[in-house]
Amino acid sequence: MNINFFDVIVAKEYETKTNGTVEKKTAWNQVGRAWTSKTSDSLCFELFLIPNQRYVIQLKEKLKPQSMPDFEDFSL
């Protein structure tokens, strides 16, 4: 079974001075990896900052429960 992994990266912008001129630069850091589930309805990712910790994001749409009141129903 071939599982494709995707990089989770962050960008940090900073300024450096070279020969008196200020240059904007970007540093890219890989902070984790992500992959889709077998059914492709969720996305899992693992951050390298927290060992053995995984997070799951559900991609499919869930219906809003009918018993939950709207924000406008609350009054102070």
| Beta-strand runs (E) in the chain | 6-18, 21-36, 42-47, 54-58
Q: How does the average pLDDT of the chain come out, rounded? A: 78
The ranges assigned to domains in the chain are: 6-59
Give the pLDDT confidence of 8-28 residue by residue, as tens digits.
Answer: 899 999 999 989 899 999 999
Q: Flag whether the pTM goes above 0.85.
A: no
Sign of CA dihedral 66, 71, 73, 75: positive
Pairing mode, if any, of strands 42-47 and 54-58? antiparallel
What does the block give as tokens for 72? 């406008």
Q: Tell me, what's the pLDDT at 66?
A: 62
Mean pLDDT of 24-52: 84
